[in-house]
Each structure stands twice: as structure tokens, then as C-alpha cells.
């Protein structure tokens, strides 16, 4: 049992935040299959505050940050992840998000926690002194956590990496974050230098777990229940965050829960995969409009259909479909080509 504030997680299953992927549509599908905690895509604290101070009419210049920061009414176990390097801006943005008082706020639902990104390794983030770069500035990182903690009524969690160039000092860094008010630390067990390549450092997760008394969540190279069991056994972590392995595969959470409960897991059939791909596309279009939703769903459709018989022959049609009806027709062609039946295509 893992606790974040007043929220209890029976299995400690997290969907790791992924820029461009973990929007509400995808989060809701993962929740459907047992994901217990989700986190938003990265939200720029500076952008949110600057948009708030913009004097232009919101009807003509809507805030671009609001959709990323939105907490939907059905999201009771959800945190909004902020990135930035200025403590006062981070604190104000966090407070505004918790009060749902920012430009273009869509709902009045506050997040269950504020998550601080100290793990993004990408040059446009880390190169600007944000994300993983904060691990090389522990005093500033600690000040950010303290300022955000003092500004919000919800727990503050932090996502870090195994280090920047090396793993030395990561446990001490995590301890400093705890002392500054962090309620949970998620460790992506690769260094900034290693980006997303195969192979992780479970020893760093263990070192962090041994250094702090707050919950520690492990992240990296989780694809099966055996991976989960091995990480927990090797590191003693309290929970698991799943990222890329959930793309096109929200069933992974059900698979892990079945493993914990000693049940056998039945993988989704081709028809179930097609139905889920179509459902995902429909959710995106409903929430973002046909043009944006259709554009964003294409990468997810590729994940859902990867490796399916007949998918290669129809991929171009799937990626260029002009509307939802075209997407459905292309998905149905894959199902028929694979000779797996066509019930998912019936009206």
C-alpha cells in the first residue's frame, strides 16, 4: 500500500508522464485497466504565469498551457507536472493550478499533487537549466521544492533521474528533496547522458530508497509483470511508473495486477486492439476537435497496430485518413486482412 497525501494506492501503479502522449484521453484509458495514478504532460511554469499576465483578450489569444494543466472531473488521483528553474515562478504557477486560477482554466478540479520535473534530459529543457539540469544545482532544486510546498495545499512529488553524467550523489540529492518537503520521489533509473537507451541502474533506486523515508517509485524498462517483480525485489521501491510500454498497450496495468493477484493474464485479441485504437481516436477527436485529434491519434494508432497481420499494407492509409470514418475503415482492413474476424467493424 502506497500513500500520497490522503490517496491510497493498493498496487503502486503509475503512468509515467510523457510529453505529447499522456493527455486526458490516454490517461483515462490507462485508468480503465487499473492504473492508479497519472501525471500530466510537462507544464511550463513560466508559460502559465506569462499567459496569465498577458493583456490580450483570451477569446482571441487563448492560453496554450491550460489544456496541459487541466485536471478533468474524473481524475481524482492525478498530479500536474511543472518544470522551471525559478522558485517564485514555480510556486505561483503551482498555487494557481491548485486554485484553478489561470488563463483558460477548463475545470474547477484541483490536482491531487504537484509534481516537479527534475528528470527531463532533452536539450531544450535541460539545456535551459530546467529538468534534469537541476540535479547539478541541489541548493536551487531544494529551494524550488520548499517554495512550491509552502504555496500549495497538496503533496509535492519530484521526478528525477539516476544522475546527469554519473550516478554519484543521487541518493544525497533525493534526501535533500525529502528534507525540503517532497512527499514522494520517482526515479527514472537512467542518467541524463543515457537518455532512453536500453538498460537501467536499479542500484540507484535502491540507494534512494535507503536514503529517504518517503515513498520511492521506480521507472525504466518495465514491460512485463516479471520486470515489476524484479525491480521491486532488487530495489525495495514502493511503486512502479510505466511509460513507453503503455503506449498502444493500456492493458499492461491489468497484466501487472493479475500478476500481483496470481491470476493468468489473457492478452487482448486483434479485435480488442482494434476496438481500443478506435476508442482512443474517438476520445482524442471529442476532446481536441477532428483536426488536432486526428493528427495526434496517428502515432497511437501505429502503436496499437504494430506487429498485427496486415498492418504494414494498410499503414499509409491509416496515417493519411482524412477523418474518423477513414480511420475506422483502415483499422477494419487490418482486421480483415489478418483474418481475425470483423465484428469490431460492424455498425
Residue with cell 497484466: 255
Distance CA 94, CA 97 (A): 5
186 is catalytic: no
Straight-line distance from the first to the last Cα atom of the chain, in angstroms, rounded to the nearest whole number: 43
Q: Provide the grid cell at 250.
A: 493500456
- For 64, list phi and psi in degrees, rounded to 5: -85, -15
Distance CA 55, CA 88 (A): 21
Distance CA 261, CA 228 (A): 13
- Tell me which DSSP letter residue 246 carries: G
Give me the catalytic one of 30, 120, 132, 345: 120
Distance CA 48, CA 18 (A): 19
Long-range CB contacts (< 8 A, 24+ apart) of 49-53? 49/89, 49/92, 49/93, 49/96, 51/102, 51/103, 51/104, 52/96, 52/102, 52/103
Q: Is the dihedral of CA 272, 278, 280, 282 positive or negative?
A: negative
Rg, the chain, Cα only: 21
Q: Provide the grid cell at 35.
A: 492504473
The residues assigned a catalytic role are: 120
Amino acid at each position: 500500500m502506497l500513500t500520497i497525501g490522503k490517496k491510497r494506492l493498493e498496487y503502486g501503479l503509475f503512468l509515467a508522464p510523457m510529453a505529447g502522449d499522456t493527455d486526458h484521453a490516454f490517461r483515462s484509458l490507462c485508468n480503465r485497466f487499473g492504473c492508479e495514478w497519472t501525471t500530466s504532460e510537462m507544464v511550463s511554469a513560466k508559460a502559465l504565469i506569462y499567459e496569465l499576465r498577458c493583456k490580450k483578450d483570451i477569446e482571441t489569444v487563448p492560453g496554450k498551457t491550460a489544456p496541459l494543466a487541466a485536471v478533468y472531473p474524473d481524475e481524482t488521483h492525478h498530479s500536474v507536472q511543472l518544470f522551471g528553474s525559478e522558485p517564485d515562478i514555480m510556486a505561483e504557477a503551482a498555487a494557481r493550478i491548485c486554485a484553478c486560477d489561470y488563463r483558460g482554466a477548463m475545470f474547477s478540479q484541483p490536482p491531487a499533487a504537484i509534481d516537479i520535473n527534475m528528470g527531463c534530459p532533452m536539450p531544450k529543457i535541460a539545456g535551459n537549466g530546467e529538468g534534469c539540469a537541476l540535479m547539478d544545482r541541489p541548493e536551487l532544486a531544494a529551494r524550488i521544492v520548499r517554495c512550491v510546498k509552502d504555496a500549495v495545499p497538496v503533496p509535492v512529488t519530484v521526478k528525477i533521474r539516476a544522475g546527469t553524467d554519473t550516478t554519484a550523489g543521487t541518493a544525497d540529492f533525493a534526501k535533500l528533496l525529502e528534507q525540503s518537503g517532497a512527499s514522494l520521489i520517482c526515479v527514472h533509473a537512467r542518467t541524463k547522458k543515457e537518455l532512453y537507451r536500453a538498460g537501467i541502474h536499479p542500484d540507484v533506486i535502491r540507494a534512494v530508497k535507503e536514503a529517504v523515508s518517503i515513498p520511492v517509485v521506480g521507472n525504466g524498462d518495465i514491460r512485463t509483470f516479471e520486470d515489476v517483480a524484479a525491480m521491486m525485489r532488487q530495489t525495495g521501491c514502493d511503486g512502479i511508473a510505466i511509460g513507453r510500454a503503455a503506449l498502444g498497450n493500456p492493458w499492461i496495468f491489468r497484466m501487472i495486477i493479475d500478476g500481483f493477484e496470481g491470476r493468468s493474464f489473457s492478452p487482448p485479441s486483434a479485435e480488442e486492439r482494434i476496438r481500443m485504437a478506435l476508442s482512443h481516436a474517438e476520445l482524442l477527436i471529442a476532446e481536441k476537435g477532428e483536426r488536432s485529434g486526428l493528427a495526434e491519434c496517428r502515432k497511437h494508432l501505429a502503436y496499437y497496430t504494430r506487429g498485427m497481420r496486415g498492418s504494414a499494407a494498410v499503414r499509409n492509409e491509416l496515417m493519411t485518413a482524412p477523418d474518423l470514418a477513414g480511420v475506422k475503415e483502415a483499422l477494419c482492413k487490418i482486421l480483415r486482412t489478418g483474418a481475425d474476424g470483423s465484428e469490431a467493424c460492424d455498425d
